[in-house]
Amino acid sequence: MIKLMHLADLHQGWEPKYLPDDKKSIRRRERDQLLQKAVDYVLAPGNGIQGILIVGDLFEKYKPEDALVRETMRQLSRLTAQGMLVVTIPGNHDEITYRESVYRTQGTAWPGILVTNPMPEHCLSHTLEGTTVHIYSLAYTGGLTKTAALDDFPCLAEPGFHIGAFHGSLDWEGLGDRSLSLNSARLSSAGYHYIALGHYHQFSSKAIGSSLAVYPGAVEFKSFSDSGAGHFTIVCWDGSQVTLEKPPVALRPWQSLTLDVSLVENYQALKTRCLSCADPGIMLQLTLTGTPRFHIQEEQLLEDLAGAFFYLELSNAARYFSDSFLDAVSGEPTIRGLFTRRIRERLAATSDERERKVLEQALLQGLAALEGDVG
């Protein structure tokens, strides 16, 4: 059984600009430790892995700072020192095009195999546990990679495990994505067993022809809209079939929560409610919805909650109708005016506290719905 870790899009050196300086450097350090976690996982004897494929965007920039380059090479050398297969493919962030690109300045010192050919080529054949792994790849190089004519994907007619490894956008039809465009029909005609992709940050796997094409995704979290896969991707080849393993990785916890604040009495109660999920280690995305009876001061709430979380992203989608707004609406010769008058009449007629609350919410939610805000 051949088992290789398939990594891409680590974007080492990236910093979350939305964090204050102290936390920014904590998060950067955490993110940059992912490679070490990957190497530890590959080296753990019980995992039975023989190598690693890094399919682009290992770094955020093509010229990362020296300390980061040194540490990255030191980690990869831990693998090569054990005879592991290490293949690194430049991406579009760490593009090889530039004279000062890390892959040009380090060149031959780079641990393992560094892909530098600008058009698809057979890059290496390497025997692992009696089976030969054949890898085909390219390093996107401005001016040399003929992106429009990328239809000739070579594949040797030899026994073994054939892997195409490319950093680019599979079947992307939009505009403005500065990356290598890959066509699944052309790729599948090469007949690779496995197509190791990079560039998209979400995990995905798809059968194209007889190949399995996989984006391992960025494992680490960047933001709530780019939250990472949270697991490594291990490709396994038993001589006839490709299967995947997706071991989870221990990362800083994050969560997206939606809180309906319609029945929350006042600001103090809202604060207490939010603080009930306090955790100084977590990154929390909190969305407030509903129709509260009070106006939510977002800046104040953020300030009051800031210390309770590692990072809090607050979005207020709650709809507040002030009393003066309701007064104005109830005088309108409109559907919402009629609706408001009817409910207010019933409110005036009831002395039942429960009914009053129901009517109040019916009024507020009805008005929100009439605004097209169906909650």
Nearer to Mn ion, 62 or 321 (CB): 62
Amino acid identity of 258?
A: T
Question: Position of tokens 């001016």?
Answer: 143
As measured in angstroms, the least distance from the Cβ of 239 to Mn ion is: 32
Sole window of 51-59, 155-163, 298-306, 347-355 interacting with Mn ion (rule: CB under 5 A): 51-59
Encoding tokens for residue 88?
């690194």
As measured in angstroms, the least distance from the Cβ of 71 to Mn ion is: 21
As measured in angstroms, the least distance from the Cβ of 115 to Mn ion is: 15
Interface pattern 70-109 for Mn ion (x via CB under 5 A): ---------------------xx-----------------
The site for Mn ion, by CB under 5 A, has a size of: 4
Question: Which single residue brings its beta carbon nearest to Mn ion?
Answer: 199
CB 22 within 8 A of CB 54: no
As measured in angstroms, the least distance from the Cβ of 199 to Mn ion is: 4
Closest CA to 305 of 337, 278, 266: 278
Nearer to Mn ion, 54 or 359 (CB): 54
As measured in angstroms, the least distance from the Cβ of 94 to Mn ion is: 9
Sole window of 18-26, 44-52, 53-61, 327-335 interacting with Mn ion (rule: CB under 5 A): 53-61
Interface pattern 174-203 for Mn ion (x via CB under 5 A): -------------------------x----
Nearer to Mn ion, 57 or 60 (CB): 57
As measured in angstroms, the least distance from the Cβ of 49 to Mn ion is: 24
**Is 57 among the residues that bind Mn ion (CB under 5 A)?**
yes
Spatial distance between the Cα atoms of 317 and 280, rounded to a whole number of angstroms? 24
Nearer to Mn ion, 120 or 217 (CB): 217
Nearer to Mn ion, 51 or 198 (CB): 198
CB 27 within 8 A of CB 156: no
As measured in angstroms, the least distance from the Cβ of 57 to Mn ion is: 4
- The helix, strand and coil proportions of the chain, stated in percent and rounded to the nearest 5, come to 30, 25, 40
CB 10 within 8 A of CB 28: no
Nearer to Mn ion, 226 or 245 (CB): 226
Measured in degrees and rounded to the nearest 5, phi and psi for residue 170 equal: -80, 120
Q: Where are the beta strands (DSSP E) in the chain?
A: 2-7, 51-55, 85-89, 113-114, 121-128, 131-137, 161-167, 169-170, 181-182, 194-198, 204-208, 211-215, 234-237, 242-245, 254-260, 279-289, 309-316
Sole window of 50-58, 62-70, 291-299, 314-322 interacting with Mn ion (rule: CB under 5 A): 50-58
Instruction: Please report, as residue ranges, which positions from 220 to 279 form the binding site for Mn ion (by CB under 5 A).
Output: none
Encoding tokens for residue 361?
């919410």
Spatial distance between the Cα atoms of 180 and 164, rounded to a whole number of angstroms? 14
As measured in angstroms, the least distance from the Cβ of 114 to Mn ion is: 17
Encoding tokens for residue 18?
């939305």
**Burial class of residue 99, CB neighbours in 10 A (0-12, 13-18, 19+):** exposed
For Mn ion, the binding residues (CB under 5 A) are: 57, 91-92, 199
